[in-house]
Amino acid sequence: MKVPYPIFRTEDLCAYYGDFMAIKHVTVSIPEHQVTAVMGPSGCGKTTFIRCLNRLHELLPGARITGKIYLRDEDILELDPIIVRRRVGMVFQRPNPFPTMTIYENVLAGYKLLGIRLKREEADRIVEDALRKAALWDEVKDVLHRRGTFLSGGQQQRLCIARALAVNPEVLLMDEPTSALDPKATLQIENLIVELKNTVTIVIVTHNMPQAGRISDYTAFFYMGELIEFGPTAEVFTNPKDPRTEEYLTGKFS
Amino acid sequence: MRNLEEKLKNQARYDALFRRLAQAMGVLVILLVIGVFFTLVKESWPAIKAFGLRFLWTTTWDPINLEFGALPFLVGTLITSFLALAMATPFALAGAIFLGELAPPKVANPVSFVIELLAGIPSVIYGLWALFYLVPLVRYFQMKIGAPPYGLGLFTASLVLAIMILPYAMSVARDVIRLVPQDLKEAAYSLGATRWETIRHVVLPYARSGILAGIVLALGRALGETMAVTMVIGNRSAMPHSIWDLANTMASVIANEFTEATEDVHLAALVEIGLLLFIITVVVNLIARLVIIKTRVR
């Protein structure tokens, strides 16, 4: 289906692990400044799909991609992966702040790792800005120079979101970002996602159907590596076109 | 039901027995260490009485006139060990990064296996190899630069020590580098870091404590290594003045003179060197523990 203002567009995208084809001929457009949920049963390729979008997939031995992925009309498979990953940030399933760095350093990791030097005031501003966007500033502003690992799981995940946002990406990929968190922390992250879509496009893999219903504008449904259904979330949820989507939504398989 | 109760009672008895046994083994190990220490003190007592603390800082080692000072050997041991460590560490680190992070499993696994084999070669074989291969090489080098062309000496001993401890430091470092969680590395890549930036800022800081532990373990090996060092160090019991000098380490002087020491004081002096080596080794291990605790992540 056509979407207004697509930021990502894939054409006949296939992803492999060795001989195994994990993503099969996916052609889809992802709209800008919207939350797109990627859903489907375990092993359907949804995580692989988003890992293609920032070219993290190809880091695994034997992994490769064919087809085209356009980010604002540039084929990212032709670009330097470093540039792609600066423009497309990622938040992982388990919170993974760098344990050897302080909270402050974690937020600036996108600069520190690449050896980019910042002036003191500029660094302070980026840290505060990113932590505010991630709704974590008030909780950590007095402990910025302590290690991030003493924070709760939900705080750590928001720290990881701040770390990703600090380099001003155009897209934020989230791979089941709340699956390791308790309900309260989950709710905080969900509220955050809805707020963030004003500044960044979000593609979120989720297992949690009510969550997709609450936060997403569009839903992509994957089954055995194929994209079965894509459309506005309300439409996909109330009036699925493919029987397999309906079966999944009604809990016939998971 | 009666059967089951009986069985449980027996089980409890066995459990208690096993716990006692395990406890006894633990105590035995401690007793052994204490036993070794006291034996060394007792056997070296004549020398301790005769020379006191002077033993530690005088440089005369004269079995004819029965005047003994251990400083040349202390210096020999420290120089060879730390020089070996300095030579081995960069290679160990580079090799560990390659095997743990860069090489595909098809390459890393056989190479790691060979490195573990290296660690298992008896030290006398390293000594022989060094005599036939390293000594001429070092001699050639010494002639080129105008140093006394002994071939043997402190430098050669350090070189063979470095080769011997390399597999230890490298395999420990490789193991800890492999243990760095994949999701931390992916977090770095997802921020646009290159492989090297990821290794430098994420992998190495995370593995630092384990890498240091491996290096200190290697130091412990170097301090006590006897056979290979004795074969190439030149066995001269005087204070060394340059790294090309012939010298002795604590371990090599014991190995060399133990069978020939006929006077009680000479024998006692050798045992006292053993006691010093024992203490140094314990201290190095304690430092290693401290380093690990201080630098551990979390």
| A152-165 confidence digits (pLDDT tens) | 999 999 999 999 99
A110 touches chain B (CB under 8 A): yes
3-state secondary structure of A88: strand
Give Cα B62 distance to the centre of its chain. 29
In Å, how far is A89's CA from the nearest CA of chain B?
6
| Mean pLDDT of the region A224-233 | 92
User: Per CATH, which fold does B56-295 belong to?
Assistant: MetI-like fold (1.10.3720)
Task: Tell me whether A89 touches chain B (CB under 8 Å).
Answer: yes
| Residue-level pLDDT at A166 | 95
CB-side exposure of B116: number of CA atoms within 13 Å? 10
Task: Say what the pLDDT of residue A254 is.
Answer: 57
The mean pLDDT value for A44-71 works out to 92
Interatomic CA distance for residues B257 and A42, integer angstroms = 71
Task: Find out whether A157 and A176 touch, Cβ atoms under 8 Å.
Answer: no
* pLDDT score recorded for residue A21: 92
Q: Under an 8 A CB cutoff, do B192 and A99 touch? A: no
Among B153, B121, B161, which residue's Cα sits nearest to residue B135?
Answer: B153
Please tell me the distance from the alpha carbon of residue A21 to that of residue A18, in angstroms, as a whole number. Answer: 8
Structure token pair of residue B146:
């105008």
| Average pLDDT taken over every residue of chain A | 91
Q: Are residues A223 and A46 in contact, defined by beta-carbon separation less than 8 angstroms?
A: no
Condensed to tens digits (0 to 9), the pLDDT of residues A88-145 reads 999 999 999 999 999 999 999 999 999 899 999 999 999 999 999 999 999 999 999 9
For residue A107, what is the nearest residue in chain B, using CA coordinates? B191
The reply to whether residue A59 touches residue B189, judged by beta carbons under 8 angstroms, is yes
Distance from CA of A236 to the nearest CA of B (A): 31
Q: In this structure, how many other beta carbons lie within 10 angstroms of the beta carbon of residue B123?
A: 18
Of the pLDDT bands very low, low, confident and very high (cuts 50, 70, 90), residue A1 is low
Reported as a pLDDT band with limits 50, 70 and 90, residue A47 is very high
Contact A113 B183 (CB under 8 A): no
**B104 contacts on A by Cβ (under 8 Å):** 61
Sort out which chain A residues have CB atoms less than 8 A from B109's CB and list them: none
Instruction: Write down all domains in chain A, each with its CATH number in brackets.
Output: 6-249 (3.40.50.300)
Cross-chain CB nearest to A85 (options B189, B208, B298): B189
Q: CA–CA separation, B279 vs B287, rounded Å?
A: 12
Whole-angstrom Cα distance, residue A171 to residue A86?
Answer: 10
Look-up of token digits 């991030």: A148
Residue A96: list chain B partners with CB under 8 A.
Answer: 181, 183-184, 186-187
Q: Tell me the chain A residues in contact with residue B198 when contact means C-beta distances shorter than 8 Å.
A: 113
Give the Cα separation of B64 and B263 in Å (integer): 9
Which residues from chain A sit within 8 angstroms of residue B196, using beta carbons?
Answer: none
- DSSP-based three-state secondary structure for A23: strand
**CA dihedral for B119, B121, B122, B126, sign (positive or negative):** negative
For chain B, domain boundaries: 56-295
The residue-averaged pLDDT of A45-61 equals: 92
Give the mean pLDDT of A9-23: 93
Q: CA-nearest residue of chain A to B198?
A: A113
Residues of B with CB under 8 A from a CB of A: 104-105, 181, 183-184, 186-194, 197-198, 201-202, 205-206, 208, 297-298
Nearest neighbour of B189 by CB, restricted to A56, A83, A149: A56
Is A83 in Cβ contact with B205 (below 8 Å)?
A: no
Question: 3-state DSSP call for residue A154?
Answer: helix
Partners of residue A56 in chain B, C-beta under 8 Å: 186, 189-190
Select the residue of A94, A114, A160 nearest B197 (Cβ to Cβ).
Answer: A114
**What ipTM does the predicted assembly reach?**
0.92
Average pLDDT by consecutive 10-residue portion of chain B (298 residues)? 81 91 95 95 93 90 90 95 95 94 90 91 94 94 91 95 94 92 94 94 92 89 92 92 92 92 90 95 86 74
